[in-house]
Amino acid sequence: MEKETNASSIIDRRGIYYQAFGLYGGIAGFYDYGPVGLRIRRNIEAQWRSLFVNELGSLEVETTNLMPESVFRASGHLSTFTDPVINCATCNSSYRADKLLEAFYESKGMDKEAAAVKRLSKKEMEAKIAENRIRCERCGGSLAKVEDFNLMFKTHVAHKGGEAIYLRPETAQGIFVDFKSLFRLYGMKLPAIICQVGKVYRNEISPRQQLVRLREIIQMEAEVFFDPEAEETSLGEIETGKILSSEIAFAESGSETAKTRSLADLLALSLIPNRHFAVLLYLEKRLMERLGMPSGAYRFRQIEKEELPHYSRGNVDLEVKTSYGYIEVAGNAYRTDYDLSQHAKVSGNEISVVSGERKLVPHVVEASIGADRLLFSLLDNSVEEGKDRGWEWLRLNERLAPYLYSVFPLQKDGKLIEKAKEIHRILSEKGVPSYYSDSGSIGKRYARSDEIGIPYAITCDYDTLGDNSVTIRNRDDTKQTRKLISEIL
């Protein structure tokens, strides 16, 4: 059974998202979005595009989900994209060894031991599991050896022979493979930014925690290509020097305590690698503010050497505090020239570009944001108990809400229904997202509207038919005001 979270009842009751294939009993790690959840997630993506694509002046591409084995041989995913797996000797159930240990220590209140798990080798994890007599959650059987498990999904083109292909585990490799062509075709100059939103696939060993550990994920990625020897002055339309005074909550490697630090200080102390990296953190903070995430609910954390991906010379994660504890919603990495150099080597094609007087293989910093985790963490931090009104509701930022207005007739009267539908139609034609309902009492309709975070409810009553005025109800304080329809439309 999944642990109940702050938003669980609303998510389930309003079908914001739900386990896929429920008709067949469901498969762990796969979720479908209902109409409300899809709208919220698309609003998250729109705000990300506003910052990372439009404001940075980036190119946005869409590359294929399936890629040949050679791509992942070059990137290192074939040999290093693994998690530690341990199997039950009795029923053969599989568990991710590090998460199993972390959950055990957390259940005992042993936070230091839980935090230290990420630094353990496979042999050490195996010893700790045996020492603490951790058994199979399903049948109580003993757990065997900890081994590496590659997380990529593998298949083949056509029905026989040919090179193996894989569902991509990140959108970045499509960008790296296309980089030189895009650089030439679009007359790009360094620093250059290429972005992508799309699905990625990871064969999680034991997915759980709703949207936190999925096998099919929506990723929003920005790749910044730059000359490491050039003076760092600007990125897109942003003058980086102007944003360095911005402050973020930052936890250094090995610490769970975040302190408020300026980006300039973090640079000076080499806690972040360069100004381009600083800009990405700045934009992520602005994204969280735009989405209405409470400022005390998130932090940036410098990850430890033992956690670093094989390609990285430094990572900082953006984490949000949720009912499951802190979860990573974004990973920021200094990938150096690793990916481009590897693709040049394996493909046999040069990927260097000319910048100024120099020919070079650019370095890369990356911001990779998980849209699903971000949506979950926002919902989890947006629930209001609503004891005064009798139901829980979501305090969603207007930018994030699935609809700006609900439109209701006060009663099931043909004339009121006709007028309410007319208002709903005009709003929709003007591109203002609105939701119409005449089902149930007006109180129940207000409750449904509040539950999914709609900021305002328009109610048509009999005065509307006479003077074209309607009642506007504010979701947050339930206060009602009277306005002419013309003032809304």
Do 119 and 141 have their domain in common? Answer: yes
Residue that terminates a domain, selected from 135, 150, 165: 150
Q: Is the pLDDT of residue 161 over 90?
A: no
Q: Is residue 241 in some structural domain?
A: no
3-state secondary structure (DSSP) of residue 119: helix
Domain count for the chain? 3
C-alpha 224: how far from its chain's center?
19
Do 50 and 156 have their domain in common? Answer: yes
Residue that terminates a domain, selected from 355, 383, 411: 383
Do 439 and 478 have their domain in common? Answer: yes
Do 133 and 158 have their domain in common? Answer: no
Q: Is the pLDDT of residue 308 over 90?
A: no
Q: How far apart are CA 212 and CA 372, in angstroms?
A: 7
Q: Is the pLDDT of residue 82 over 70?
A: yes
Do 479 and 411 have their domain in common? Answer: yes
Percent of the chain's residues with pLDDT above 90: 82
The boundaries of the domain holding residue 29 are: 8-78+152-230+314-383
Poorest-confidence range of 7-21, 92-106, 176-190, 228-242? 228-242
Instruction: Cite the DSSP H helix spans in 22-88.
Output: 35-48, 69-75, 77-80
Do 345 and 484 have their domain in common? Answer: no
Q: Is residue 445 in some structural domain?
A: yes
List the one residue out of 209, 427, 468, 160 whose CA is nearest residue 482. 468
Q: Which helix (H) or strand (E) holds 67?
A: strand 66-68
Per-residue pLDDT at 357 = 84
Which CATH number goes with the domain that contains 454?
A: 3.40.50.800
Do 203 and 73 have their domain in common? Answer: yes
Q: Is the pLDDT of residue 237 over 60?
A: no
Buried b (16+ CB within 10 A) or exposed e, 301-325: bbbeeeeebebbebbbbbbbbbbbe
Per-residue pLDDT at 233 = 60
Do 136 and 162 have their domain in common? Answer: no
Which CATH number goes with the domain that contains 343?
A: 3.30.930.10
Do 215 and 165 have their domain in common? Answer: yes
Do 25 and 124 have their domain in common? Answer: no
Do 41 and 87 have their domain in common? Answer: no
Q: Is residue 68 in some structural domain?
A: yes
Tokens of 375: 């949506």
Read off the pLDDT of each residue in 357-363 and give the average, rounded to a whole number.
Answer: 93
Do 57 and 106 have their domain in common? Answer: no
Q: Is the pLDDT of residue 235 over 80?
A: no
Residue that terminates a domain, selected from 338, 353, 383: 383
Q: Beta partners for 10?
A: none
